[in-house]
Amino acid sequence: MGWGGVGATLVGCDLPTTVTLEEGKEKVVSYLMPEEYVIPGVGVWYASTCQQCPSGCGIHGRVREGRVLKLEGNPASSVNKGRLCQMGQASLQAHYNPDRISKPKIRRGSSLVDASWEEAYGLIAEKTANISGSKFAWMTGSISGHQSVLLQAYLESIGSGNHFVHETINNAVWAKVSQDMLGDSNPRIRLDKAQSVLSFGADFLGTWGSPLHFSTEYAKFRTSPRGILIQVEPNMTLTGANADLWVASRPGSEGALALGIANQLVSKHGLSMSGLPGSVQSLIRSYTLDETVTATGVDADRIADIAATLKRRSPSVVLAGASAQGHEHGYQCVAAAMVLNVILGNIGKTIESNGEFAYASMAPVSGNTQSLVSFSQAAADKRFDVAFFSGVNPVYTAPKSLGLKESLANIPFKVVFSHFNDETTAMADVVLPLASAEEDWGTHVAPYQAGVGEISIQQPLMEPLSTETRGFGDIVLTLLKKRKETAYEGFADYYAYLRNAFSTIPAEHKNGASDDQFWADVLAAGLIDVGVKETSLKVKGVEFDMPKEMGNSSAMVLAPSARLGFWDGRHANLPWLQEAPDQISKVVWDSWAELHPSTAKKIGVKEGDMVKIASASGEINVKVYIYKGVHPDVIAVPLGQGHDADFSRYAKDRGVNSLSILDAKVDRMTGELALYSTNVKVTKAAKTDDVLVRFGGSETQVGRKLVSTIPADVYERTEGGDHVA
Ligand code: SF4
């Protein structure tokens, strides 16, 4: 790693290989005179940052003879501590993907045709020359670091404040509730200190928060004395599959269940409600055991046992995520979960202050779906003349009921920064081909950091595969120069900009090193910790209600569940992830709908049969996978497939997009899309010749006793364990 500083620059510039993506045109030059730091056959590892999801994990990339061959986690990163998930591993397939866009494109009539960068930049400069700030918008995914600084500078140069930050998989409601009730939108969660965890739909091992960080913390939670995990959710997630007790919930009932557990803790176990507003105390008193059973359908014994476990296995931590926040009263459900933390005395023990990142302009800006809703509305109202899109594919992630695809016709000039053709590039007037994560420079601040303020560096791991792609920072820098922003004229490229930015980092973080040595040290380590401003948590009395009708209807509900794999659909073009069996169903290369056996029987379908799922906003046809890890009133169709644009040869025309048929309902407090509140009608559809391809094939042991089980009470008696009855 000592080579990091020097090597990274040389890797990008000096190696004599010539590589193209076009079959038949590849030119191989024998490697007779490698650079002196290259030992043929010996790999060198360089530090960088994963860009496959917003978590910001540190990586090491193994480079051999000028090509990056393998990625692993950077042990120095406090986010992932040396781990790398399958999405991170598959980043190489995004980099080497044969379907990457390798040239700028400009719309001519109904087609996008290849163009030069000069033409693309010229057109953008022309369309933005005299634009009024309010007529310009930029939609990005979660963003931080110097990319965020430059993006804000560009918005300022235009006089626009219209930055929409969109992520379908997000913690926006948890952040809002934490801010309102604790004064910190991003508190530190100490799984390592907890003896029990109750999670309402927070898939913290898969898609919630910072999955790799929480996976390492979870490992500590499970060491002696082994912590107890209780997961409440409509369909089983990776976290649910690891739980000691998994409780199937009807979407919308999570808040009532949390209040019912709170009632038990107060009435049966003598815990105090002090600190909570009188109205919330009355609400908790109203959720008696009978009332809670009626509202949730969960057994009285089960509710009482969860409360007893949380009391006995203290300190605990209570979390709330996707399915808990995904309806019209999502805020209230998450607030009810946070109330449990207050009653259980977890604040300050397992939920701590996390501090605040010291450099506001580089601080992470996390995405949500409220921005997608408000952008769609603004587009429908013809508020924008020019819109940029980067790091997002809103035409795919927006439910059709939002009408975004049609409203985009109201924006006369659309520029999309992208690595691949997708549903949004298909609507663009200009497409700018991006360098891959392994070819680009950047700095990133992970949105969830455990009490530290790390800036993680992204450095190119190899020479660009195409001479016609550009780094995001380089493009924004060029656009700023085109707007005659003189402050940027001295920077030849984004690399020069970053070098200069690092020279301005306060001396206290440089350990007496010169600017050059400091830069080399940061590249070698992959990060620098600039600390955080101390903050403190203070429980505030927030009032909320809980409509009694929530969660006790019997209509079928669609659950568009997320997976650490395709994520929000952005990775469906990576064959490793198509080939990797789903963590729950083991399905490969397809979509499926999860149905409870009792529901499947009512509908008259068996595994592999096709069902039609119809909402008020559309319908999809998909094969069914039948198992017990789903609530009988729920049909779950995981996210990711169903791309209708030319999103690579691997994803095109494969499976269905469950987001597409969601109703345009939102959480009334935060405006977040209510992803788990679309009622659907499910009927048997005509069978196709396709089979549902699953790895494995059987979920029973067919009497072979491959895994032995014993009743919990026997375990407790003979092994001294603790269990949830
Ligand atoms: S959790 Fe996200 S950032 Fe971390 S390795 Fe996986 S994809 Fe990359």
Torsion of CA 260, 261, 265, 268, to 10 degrees: 60
User: How many Å separate Cα 498 from the centre of its chain?
Assistant: 27
Q: How far is the CA of 241 from the centre of ligand 1 (A)?
A: 20
Contact 46, 461 (CB under 8 A): yes
Q: Identify the band that residue 47 occupies on the pLDDT scale cut at 50, 70 and 90.
A: very high
Task: Please tell me whether residue 439 adopts helix, strand or coil conformation.
Answer: coil
| C-beta 51 within 6 A of ligand 1 | no
pLDDT at 484: 86
| C-beta 680 within 6 A of ligand 1 | no
DSSP per-residue letters across 359-422: -GGGS-B--BSHHHHHHHHHHHTT--SEEEEES--HHHHS-GGG-HHHHGGGSSEEEEEESB--
Checking if the pLDDT of 529 tops 80, the result is yes
Q: Identify the band that residue 673 occupies on the pLDDT scale cut at 50, 70 and 90.
A: very high
Beta-carbon neighbour count of residue 327 at 10 Å? 29
| C-beta 209 within 6 A of ligand 1 | no
Query: Could you give the angle at the alpha carbon of 53 between the alpha carbons of 647 and 497, nearest 5°?
Result: 100
Q: How far is the CA of 362 from the centre of ligand 1 (A)?
A: 20
Tell me the percentage of the chain whose pLDDT exceeds 90.
85
3-state SS string for 280-303: HHHHHHHCCHHHHHHHHCCCHHHH
pLDDT at 14: 40
| C-beta 318 within 6 A of ligand 1 | no
Q: pLDDT for 72-119, tens place per residue?
A: 999 999 999 999 999 999 999 999 999 999 999 999 999 999 999 999
Q: Return the structure tokens found at 186.
A: 């991003």
Q: How far is the CA of 502 from the centre of ligand 1 (A)?
A: 25
Checking if the pLDDT of 311 tops 70, the result is yes
Tell me the percentage of the chain whose pLDDT exceeds 70.
94
Checking if the pLDDT of 19 tops 50, the result is no
Contact 70, 61 (CB under 8 A): yes
Q: pLDDT for 126-137, tens place per residue?
A: 999 999 999 999
Dihedral sign for Cα 56, 60, 66, 67, please: negative
Compute the chain's Rg from CA coordinates: 26
Q: How far is the CA of 214 from the centre of ligand 1 (A)?
A: 12
Q: Identify the band that residue 712 occupies on the pLDDT scale cut at 50, 70 and 90.
A: confident
Q: pLDDT for 152-202, tens place per residue?
A: 999 999 999 999 999 999 999 999 999 999 999 999 999 999 999 999 999
Checking if the pLDDT of 725 tops 60, the result is no
Higher pLDDT: 159 or 719? It is 159
In angstroms, the CA 215 to CA 206 distance is: 9
pLDDT at 28: 67
Higher pLDDT: 348 or 1? It is 348
Nearest ligand 1 atom to alpha carbon 211: 1
| C-beta 52 within 6 A of ligand 1 | yes
Q: pLDDT for 390-447, tens place per residue?
A: 999 999 999 999 999 999 999 999 999 999 999 999 999 999 999 999 999 999 999 9
- What does the chain come to in residues? 725
| C-beta 458 within 6 A of ligand 1 | no
Nearest ligand 1 atom to alpha carbon 84: 5
Q: Identify the band that residue 1 occupies on the pLDDT scale cut at 50, 70 and 90.
A: very low
Q: Identify the band that residue 41 occupies on the pLDDT scale cut at 50, 70 and 90.
A: confident
User: How many Å separate Cα 682 from the centre of its chain?
Assistant: 29
Q: Which residue is associated with the tokens 């296995």?
A: 313
DSSP per-residue letters across 105-164: EEEETTEEEE--HHHHHHHHHHHHTT--GGGEEEEESSB-HHHHHHHHHHHHHHT---EE
- Among protein residues, the one with the nearest Cα to ligand 1's atom 4 is 57
Q: Parallel, antiparallel, or unpaired: how do β-strands 430-433 and 105-108 relate?
A: antiparallel
Contact 582, 593 (CB under 8 A): no
Considering only the C-alpha atoms of the chain, give the largest distance between any 2 of them, rounded to a whole number of Å. Answer: 80
Q: Identify the band that residue 715 occupies on the pLDDT scale cut at 50, 70 and 90.
A: confident
Instruction: Give, for ligand 1, the residue of 48, 49, 51, 57 to mutate: max count of ligand atoms closer than 8 Å to Cβ.
Output: 57
| C-beta 90 within 6 A of ligand 1 | no
Preceding omega of 315 cis (within 30 degrees of 0): yes
| C-beta 150 within 6 A of ligand 1 | no
Mean confidence (pLDDT) of the chain = 93
Contact 596, 632 (CB under 8 A): yes
Section 269-297 average pLDDT: 96
Preceding omega of 412 cis (within 30 degrees of 0): no
pLDDT at 716: 74
Section 450-474 average pLDDT: 96
Q: How far is the CA of 74 from the centre of ligand 1 (A)?
A: 12
pLDDT at 25: 65
Contact 230, 247 (CB under 8 A): yes
Q: Return the structure tokens found at 350.
A: 């397992």
Nearest ligand 1 atom to alpha carbon 73: 5
Strand partners, 197: 229, 317
Checking if the pLDDT of 722 tops 70, the result is no
| C-beta 577 within 6 A of ligand 1 | no
DSSP 671: -
Q: How far is the CA of 53 from the centre of ligand 1 (A)?
A: 5
User: How many Å separate Cα 73 from the centre of its chain?
Assistant: 18
In angstroms, the CA 658 to CA 572 distance is: 14
Instruction: Give, for ligand 1, the residue of 71, 85, 208, 571 to mutate: max count of ligand atoms closer than 8 Å to Cβ.
Output: 85
Between helix 494-503 and helix 515-525 the angle, nearest 10°, is 110
495-513 as b/e: b if 16+ CB within 10 A = bebbbeebeebeeebbeee
Q: How far is the CA of 275 from the centre of ligand 1 (A)?
A: 38
Q: Which residue is associated with the tokens 């998989």?
A: 169
Q: How far is the CA of 635 from the centre of ligand 1 (A)?
A: 28
Q: pLDDT for 623-670, tens place per residue?
A: 999 999 999 999 999 999 999 888 999 998 899 999 999 999 999 999
Torsion of CA 132, 134, 136, 137, to 10 degrees: 170
Give the chain's end-to-end CA distance (angstroms, integer): 51
Q: pLDDT for 489-522, tens place per residue?
A: 999 999 999 999 999 999 999 989 999 999 999 9
pLDDT at 33: 72
Higher pLDDT: 713 or 636? It is 636
Q: What are phi and psi of 70, to 5 degrees?
A: -155, 145
Section 688-709 average pLDDT: 81
Torsion of CA 425, 427, 430, 436, to 10 degrees: -10
Q: Return the structure tokens found at 329.
A: 């009263």
Q: How far is the CA of 52 from the centre of ligand 1 (A)?
A: 6
Contact 416, 486 (CB under 8 A): no
Dihedral sign for Cα 294, 299, 300, 305, please: negative
Section 467-482 average pLDDT: 97
Higher pLDDT: 203 or 689? It is 203
In angstroms, the CA 651 to CA 481 distance is: 37
Sheet-wide strand order for 58-64: 44-49, 58-64, 67-73
In angstroms, the CA 15 to CA 666 distance is: 52
Q: What are phi and psi of 251, to 5 degrees?
A: -55, 135
In angstroms, the CA 441 to CA 474 distance is: 9
In angstroms, the CA 12 to CA 585 distance is: 42
Checking if the pLDDT of 2 tops 50, the result is no
Q: Return the structure tokens found at 177.
A: 């509730």
Sheet-wide strand order for 196-200: 245-248, 228-233, 196-200, 316-320
Section 318-336 average pLDDT: 96
Section 15-32 average pLDDT: 58
Nearest ligand 1 atom to alpha carbon 210: 1
DSSP 532: E
- Among protein residues, the one with the nearest Cα to ligand 1's atom 8 is 88
Task: Please tell me whether residue 225 adopts helix, strand or coil conformation.
Answer: coil
pLDDT at 495: 98
Q: How far is the CA of 89 from the centre of ligand 1 (A)?
A: 9
In angstroms, the CA 339 to CA 50 distance is: 35
In angstroms, the CA 117 to CA 671 distance is: 39
- Among protein residues, the one with the nearest Cα to ligand 1's atom 2 is 53
396-433 as b/e: b if 16+ CB within 10 A = bbbbbbbebbebbeebebbbbbbbbbbbbbbbbbbbbb
Contact 437, 461 (CB under 8 A): no
pLDDT at 516: 95
Q: Return the structure tokens found at 689.
A: 């010749």
Strand partners, 352: 188
Q: Return the structure tokens found at 567.
A: 């994520």
In angstroms, the CA 669 to CA 148 distance is: 27
3-state SS string for 143-155: ECHHHHHHHHHHH
Q: pLDDT for 552-577, tens place per residue?
A: 567 899 999 999 999 999 999 999 99
In angstroms, the CA 372 to CA 404 distance is: 9
| C-beta 215 within 6 A of ligand 1 | no
In angstroms, the CA 254 to CA 146 distance is: 39
| C-beta 84 within 6 A of ligand 1 | yes
Q: Identify the band that residue 17 occupies on the pLDDT scale cut at 50, 70 and 90.
A: very low
Q: Identify the band that residue 10 occupies on the pLDDT scale cut at 50, 70 and 90.
A: very low
